[in-house]
Amino acid sequence: MGAVLEARGLTKRYGAALALDGLNLAVAAGETLCLLGANGAGKTTTLNLFLGFTAPTAGAALVDGLVVAEDPAAARARLGYVAEVVSLYPSLSGAENLAFFAGLAGVAVDPARRDAILARLRFPADAILRPAGTYSKGMRQKLGLAIALMKEARVILLDEPLSGLDPAAANDLVGVLRETAAGGVALLISTHDIFRAKEVASRIGIMRHGRLVAMIDPASLSAGELEHMYLTHMAERAA
């Protein structure tokens, strides 16, 4: 199966600062890639380039074979995006938020399908009619995922989806993410939580100073290696 998400020599320069330096990666359907790195390592820039929120200085970001910079609208139509804090309209109910964002993507919401997706995400059934302003962070993340699934996204980009969740909610979301990937969706997750990354990822890419410095199979990672990596990671954060 070919890559649904691909970066080819993806480079982004802000003035003199090099935010991303020749990134190459590919994510296939059903695969979950976690990008791990400190703040400023280039994770968010990578997501922004795939979303078409910023144009690459060199190289290309491809979604489903489409070059994002050439046709951002077509690329976005195939993408789902879950921000670190999923910003919803607080006075509208979850269902209305869902209907609105689906409507933006040109999708009409079929209630039966919506309820099936929400059930799969273990979203509390009675909460969907409550104003989104009352939702917990975990519920927001799930609704964000539901929005992505509703438009049948081939790829979902997640920006720090687990930060700030309590352990129970994080465990829950990890399970949901695994099931989502198992459903044939490619996931690209940016995070700086190594331990959670190991739980959810099929591969982990480590970024530093805008470069992808290592690509690791989490299954092959021993506890000692994980700790070593963690320390390297933290050392860079402190630097």
Partner 1 sequence: MTALARPSLLAMEGRWLLRSRLALAVLAVLMGAIILALANGRALLAAQLASRAAASSELAEADARLRAGMARGMPAADAVLLPIRVRMPVIAPLPPLIDASAGQAPLAPDAGAAGLRSRADTLFARSTLENPELLMRGGLDLGFVVLVIAPLLLVVLGHGMIPADRDSGALRLVLAQGGGVGRLLLARSLPRLALVLAPIALALLWLGLSGPDLPGRTTALIWWGLIALASLLLWWALVLLVNSLRSSADAAALALVAIWALFTLVLPALLTALVGLAQPLPSRYAVIAKARAAEVAATAQWDNDHAEAVSDELASRRDALARTLDVTGKVAAAIAPIMADHAARRAGRQETLDQLALLAPPMLAAQALARAAGSDAGAVAQVQDAAAAHVAQLRAALARLATRPQPMTPADLDRLPRFVAPAPAAPPLGALAWLLALASGLLLAAVRQINRLQPD
Q: Is 74 in the site for partner 1 (CB under 8 A)?
A: yes
Q: Which range, of 13-21, 102-110, 119-127, 193-201, touches partner 1 by CB under 8 A?
A: 102-110
Q: Is 144 in the site for partner 1 (CB under 8 A)?
A: yes
**H or E segment to which residue 186 belongs:** strand 186-191
Q: Is 164 in the site for partner 1 (CB under 8 A)?
A: no
Q: Can you list the alpha helix ranges (DSSP code H) found in the chain?
A: 43-51, 72-77, 94-104, 111-120, 137-150, 167-182, 194-200, 223-238
Q: Is 43 in the site for partner 1 (CB under 8 A)?
A: no
The backbone torsions φ and ψ at residue 215, rounded to the nearest 5 degrees and listed phi first, read -130, 120
Contact (Cβ atoms closer than 8 angstroms) between residue 52 and residue 69: yes
Q: Given the complex with partner 1, which of 14 and 89 has the nearer CB atom? A: 89
List 20, 36, 66, 79, residue binding partner 1 (CB under 8 A): 79
Q: Given the complex with partner 1, which of 3 and 86 has the nearer CB atom? A: 86
Cα–Cα distance, 38 to 233 (Å, whole number): 7
Q: Given the complex with partner 1, which of 144 and 210 has the nearer CB atom? A: 144
Cβ-count burial of 221 within 10 angstroms (0-12 exposed, 13-18 middle, 19+ buried)? middle
Q: Given the complex with partner 1, which of 158 and 216 has the nearer CB atom? A: 158
Q: Is 145 in the site for partner 1 (CB under 8 A)?
A: no
Which of the 8 DSSP states describes residue 202? S
Write out the residues near partner 1 by the rule CB under 8 A.
51-54, 72-81, 83, 85-89, 91-92, 96, 99-108, 144, 147, 151, 157
